[in-house]
Amino acid sequence: MNKPKRDNKIKNQHLSPVLHNTPVPDNTGRDMPHLHETAAAQDAACGLHCIQVRDLGVRDGNNVILENINLHIHCGKLTAVIGRNGAGKTTLIRAILGDIRHEGSIELTDLKDRTVKSLRLGYVPQYINIEKNTPMSVYDFFAGFISNRPIFLWKDKKVYQRVKEQLKLFEAQDFIDKRVCDLSGGELQRVLLSIAVTPIPNLLLLDEPVSGIDRNGMELFYEQIVKLKRNYDLAMIVVSHDFRFVRDYADYVILLDKTIIKEGTPEEVLKSLEFARVFGGADYGYDL
Amino acid sequence: MDTIYDLIDKLLPFSWAGYTFMKNALLGVLIISPLFGMLGTMIVSNRMAFFSDALGHSALTGIALGTVLGLAGTDASMVIFAVIFALLLNRIRRRKTLSTDTVISVFASLSMAIGLVILSAGGKFSSYSSILVGDILSISAGEIGLLLMVLILTAVFWFACFNKLHATGISDTLARSKNIHCALIEDLFCVLMAVIVMFSIRWVGILIINALLILPAAASRNISANVREYSLFSVIISVFSGITGLILSYYLGTATGPSIVIIASAIFFMTLMLQAVRTKG
């Protein structure tokens, strides 16, 4: 963990999540682990891949949607993006994906040998619009992304097995022959998550679902995210609307409103003036 | 070609199959219907029904431009115009801020009106009116060869790009994250669609080409659980209604295209009922 720290001192204009390993006093009495104070991140992530977003901006004509976004993310870290509706959270995700035109650059550097590598992205959308009665099984949906063999042909045993294994990671293997449109919100989310991590990306972008998933489904979804972080060498950016999740699971938090108005540990951001200004403080009902 | 005719004579010893024009029509249907069955699944899945309809209407302008420019065959001008039109429409479609179906309708109406105005100048439209309903009975051996080439081209594209196109239809942001070039794939698909529609519009007709593209896929959608069934049933329904429609039109003396559409519609309603029964039970 030392190497990236040194690196951050050299370019410390934007604070890295790695710098914020300071334990947060746990006065909530809850039994959920505060991952930023545990050593969980060391399990699989080497901490030697770093993703830098420099001066990212998005414009729609003269209308500025995002500007001056600078991020520095290491593998094994979960960065949460919060902000009110229309703050540009989804736009930020889409810009990083290259789905919309943007300024600035996004680079993946391997700190071992200082080389710039091509960045492999994974993406879990907020929701996907699949009409009722759409004739598409989970297998079709999944296989279309990982195989070049046209999915209108008979199933390929090897691909089927691989899809099943990947779905198993998120306890979704039983859905493989179900139609995608028949899945519940939480089930679909787990399928999308397994698609996003096949193959394992360097950076996983998650747009947290706002609706359609019940409490239990959400809890399971969070568990999967934590498991992912622990078991794989990847960095995560999660757009979240759930401050409890942010407090308990994020290593670093970004409060967005067209640009980054506050960043730091969950503690720092959730108790900041900026946060109170955007969300109206305690009105949110979360005992932070 | 003669060997094929002989084969048809041997396999189908019916009076309708005795005429060369019926043999040609049968071959034409055997190529066009699976082509439409395949294409239709993607048009329906990717919500492009409006798009293919507009494309069909643009054929009139294509022909009109050909005659104005004094080209010998209007096929070339039709295809070129349709390809440009398709790419333009796709650009509009991608800009999701506009109400795209409205804009597509406007373009379709405009291009049809331009075509009609030019072709009807001097009261000569009657000689072009066959393009509205189409006439598969007038297809020649050479034109069947051309259609066969289009079928092969489509099959190649289908094998190479189906998965990517399918992914683009579900969510282009998700497809983008998997490094699929959505815009390029969609453009290619639109160009292919333009080529197919233009090469078959003389036989199928502007008024019903979209019905033939959409109906088999829509019917198949009612009874399929996955992409394999969807594609297979769509092609089967398309070929079945094509052949029965052709034979029926021979005996009833009706226009072929509309007869096929009626059969396909009947199948659609049958699948709809089947689906209703299935969901209840």
Using one digit for the tens of pLDDT, what is the confidence trace for A208-233?
A: 776 667 777 778 878 888 888 888 87
**Residue A155 to chain B, least CA–CA distance (Å):** 9
- Judged against a pLDDT cut of 80, whether residue A87 lies above it is answered with yes
Per-residue model confidence (pLDDT) at position B53: 86
- Judged against a pLDDT cut of 70, whether residue A21 lies above it is answered with no
pTM: 0.79
Per-residue model confidence (pLDDT) at position A275: 80
If interface means Cβ-Cβ distance under 8 Å, which residues of chain A face chain B? 94, 97-99, 121-123, 125, 128-130, 133-137, 139-141, 143-145, 147-155, 177, 179, 192, 195-196, 205
In a domain, B14, yes or no: no
CATH number at residue B249: 1.10.3470.10
- Over residues B106-133, mean pLDDT: 81
**Residue B149 to chain A, least CA–CA distance (Å):** 21
Specify burial of residue B39 (Cβ count, 10 A radius: 0-12, 13-18, 19+). buried
Using one digit for the tens of pLDDT, what is the confidence trace for B215-243?
A: 999 999 988 888 899 999 999 999 999 99
- Judged against a pLDDT cut of 90, whether residue A14 lies above it is answered with no
Q: Return all residues near B185 (Cβ < 8 A) that are at least 6 apart.
A: B161, B164, B165, B168
Kindly report the number of other CB atoms within 10 A of residue B73's CB atom. 8
Per-residue model confidence (pLDDT) at position B21: 85
Comparing CB atoms, the residue among B41, B167, B177 nearest residue A123 is: B177
Q: Do B178 and A145 touch (CB under 8 A)?
A: yes
Structural contact between residues B36 and B240, judged by C-beta atoms closer than 8 angstroms = no
In a domain, B5, yes or no: no
What does the angle CA A37 – CA A38 – CA A40 come to, to the nearest 5 degrees? Answer: 135
Per-residue model confidence (pLDDT) at position B230: 92
Average pLDDT, chain B: 86
- Number of domains composing chain B: 1
Q: Do A196 and B173 touch (CB under 8 A)?
A: no
Q: Do B228 and A205 touch (CB under 8 A)?
A: no
Contacts of A151 in chain B (CB under 8 A): 162-163, 166, 227-228
CB contacts < 8 A (A, B): 87
Q: Quickly tell me which residue has 């396999």 as its tokens.
A: B11
Q: Which structural domains are found in chain A, ordered by start? A: 2-120+201-208+250-280 (3.40.50)
A5-19, A54-68, B101-115, B116-130: segment of lowest average pLDDT: A5-19
- Over residues A148-169, mean pLDDT: 85
In a domain, B1, yes or no: no
In a domain, B254, yes or no: yes
Nearest to B247 by CA among B36, B11, B17: B17
Any chain A CB within 8 A of the CB of B96?
Answer: no
Strand order in the sheet with A115-117: A63-74, A49-60, A103-110, A115-117
A5-14, A54-63, B114-123: segment of lowest average pLDDT: A5-14
Any chain A CB within 8 A of the CB of B178?
Answer: yes
- Structure confidence at residue B267 as a pLDDT band (50, 70, 90): very high
Q: Do A129 and B171 touch (CB under 8 A)?
A: yes
A49-53, A212-216, B200-204: segment of lowest average pLDDT: A212-216
- Judged against a pLDDT cut of 60, whether residue A12 lies above it is answered with no
Domain extent at residue B204 = 19-280
**Residue A203 to chain B, least CA–CA distance (Å):** 11
Tell me the β-bridge partners of A106. Answer: A53
- Over residues B107-117, mean pLDDT: 87
In a domain, B6, yes or no: no
A49-53, A54-58, A280-284, B56-60: segment of lowest average pLDDT: A280-284
Comparing CB atoms, the residue among A99, A134, A145 nearest residue B173 is: A99
Residue with the bigger pLDDT between A39 and B280: it is B280
Q: Do B227 and A137 touch (CB under 8 A)?
A: yes
Q: Do A133 and B275 touch (CB under 8 A)?
A: yes
- Over residues B250-275, mean pLDDT: 90
In a domain, B39, yes or no: yes
In a domain, B111, yes or no: yes
- Structure confidence at residue A46 as a pLDDT band (50, 70, 90): low
In a domain, B122, yes or no: yes
Nearest to A225 by CA among A216, A243, A237, A214: A237
Contacts of A145 in chain B (CB under 8 A): 163, 167, 178
Tell me the percentage of chain B whose pLDDT exceeds 90. 21
Confirm whether the ipTM is greater than 0.85. no
- Judged against a pLDDT cut of 90, whether residue A160 lies above it is answered with no
Average pLDDT, chain A: 75
